[in-house]
Amino acid sequence: KKGSYDHFMQKEIHEQPHSLTTTMRGRLKDSGVLLGGLKEHIKTIRRSRRVVFIGCGTSYNAALAARPFMEELTGIPVTMEVASDLLDRQGPIYREDTAVFVSQSGETADTLLALDYALENGALCVGITNTVGSTLSRRTHCGVHINAGCEIGVASTKAYTSQIVAMAMLALAVGSDQISTQARREAIISGLSSLPSNASEVLKLDADMKELASSLIDSESLLVFGRGYNYATALEGALKVKEVALMHSEGMLAGEMKHGPLALVDENLPIIVIATRDACFSKQQSVIQQLLSRKGRLIVMCSEGDASAVCPSGSCRVIEVPDVADCLQPVINIIPLQLLAYHLTVLRGFDVDQPRNLAKSLIQH
Ligand code: UD1
Ligand code: BG6
Ligand code: NA
């Protein structure tokens, strides 16, 4: 089933142009999006006082990537909950809330317990899952199957990008009654339809990421700084490195850099800074300058053609990625980091598809 690939994770990373296509198939129209599973519930979602995104691990990170455009397109406040933490706190959930549960497998115990809790509290419960017939799909009031195809590698890759795309379609559908954002919605729809080809383009960085991995093989730690649309990319890139390459890695909000993390910076610790084009670009340029002035060892991810804009001194290693609609950039930016984590794992001699101590919920339906 791995075909010409050595590992499922590698196959699933390279499958993304196709899995993104199947996630959107039959759902994208010039005039808007059509999500069969939500038709009857869109008006209720629009009327909700709050949207609460709930998930674990990579699925939580996908929801975090979706938060900015969900807020922008719907005007509804969005709060984030790690499933176990919501349960630990018994945090408030109300009838006026829409609780969106994100889970590749649809079987993660903490997520399902949080679902029971939200159902008891009367929220409208929406599922975003890859698994038709899963407990999450059955117990939620409605939802969207992401249709990314079966994911075998324990480290989620193609499901992450498809989850973000499914939530982009959800945000477009909920926000479709807002005249003031119509042009923005059209631009995002056109951005969505280009994503599969952008993903093919960025996968050409495979050899570069293998080379970058070989330069990081003996590092003890890797930091990843992101902000805005790409805060989630920083967390998810670091999670991939941690869970498969078994290297300590932290994703950090770049806006918090000077409130602690800056103390860690020296000439040895590798730091990835995500600085693709969006409204936060100039803030990221100044983060890079501050890190360089402390002799930081920087790897900067930027938009194609921006190498000298992000690193005028030429002293950073640069990863150039295709520029897409700003809010969809996390779908493309994670791919080089998935490749990096994959190659780092293979070069360090660890098991790619079955990382130590981790398991995937794999229930056949
Ligand atoms: C559905 C069909 C698809 C068909 C299409 C044609 C299924 C599973 N999907 O897709 O094969 O090509 O119509 O129009 O038969 N749901 C939840 N919770 C979740 C996910 C989904 O309750 O977490 C519900 C939805 O609200 C919906 C149903 O499951 O009632 C199917 O969802 P989805 O597959 O996303 O719907 P369509 O895209 O319309
Ligand atoms: C964890 C896995 O157990 O579950 C993570 O180690 C995964 O990789 C998380 O992201 C959530 O899984 P799911 O199926 O709910 O998306
Ligand atoms: Na359901």
Contact 126 CB / ligand 1 (< 6 Å):
no
Q: Is 230 left (phi over 0), alpha (psi -120 to 50) or beta?
A: alpha
Residue 55 CA: nearest ligand 2 atom is 15
Instruction: Judge if the beta carbon of residue 55 lies within 6 A of ligand 1.
Output: no
In the block, tokens 């902000």 appear at 227
User: Taking a C-beta distance cutoff of 8 angstroms, is the pair 165, 331 a contact?
Assistant: yes
| H helix intervals, the chain | 8-14, 16-24, 42-47, 57-74, 83-89, 109-120, 135-139, 158-174, 182-202, 206-216, 231-245, 281-293, 307-310, 329-348
Q: Is 358 in the pocket of ligand 2 (CB under 6 A)?
A: yes
Task: Compute the distance from residue 137 Cα to the ligand 3 centre, in Å.
Answer: 5
Q: Decide if 284 contacts 309 (C-beta within 8 A).
A: no
3-class DSSP assignment, residue 270: strand
Measured CA to CA, the distance from residue 205 to residue 335 in angstroms comes to 9
How many percent of the chain have pLDDT more than 90?
94
Name the nearest CA neighbour of 333 among 255, 276, 282, 294: 276
- CB 143, CB 128: distance < 8 Å: yes
Residue 338 beta carbon below 6 angstroms from any ligand 2 atom = no
Distance in Å, CA 39 to ligand 3 centroid: 13
Give the three-class secondary structure for 4: coil
Q: How far is the CA of 108 from the centre of ligand 2 (A)?
A: 7
ipTM, interface predicted TM-score of the complex: 0.98
- With vertex at residue 198, the alpha carbon angle to CA 194 and CA 202, rounded to the nearest 5 degrees, is 175
Residue nearest ligand 1's atom 30 by CA: 37
Cβ–ligand 2 contact at 56 (below 6 Å): yes
Cα separation, 17 vs 312, whole angstroms? 33
Q: What is the pTM of this model?
A: 0.98
Q: What is the pLDDT of residues 159-218, one digit of tens each?
A: 999 999 999 999 999 999 999 999 999 999 999 999 999 999 999 999 999 999 999 999
Condensed to tens digits (0 to 9), the pLDDT of residues 46-94 reads: 999 999 999 999 999 999 999 999 999 999 999 999 999 999 999 999 9
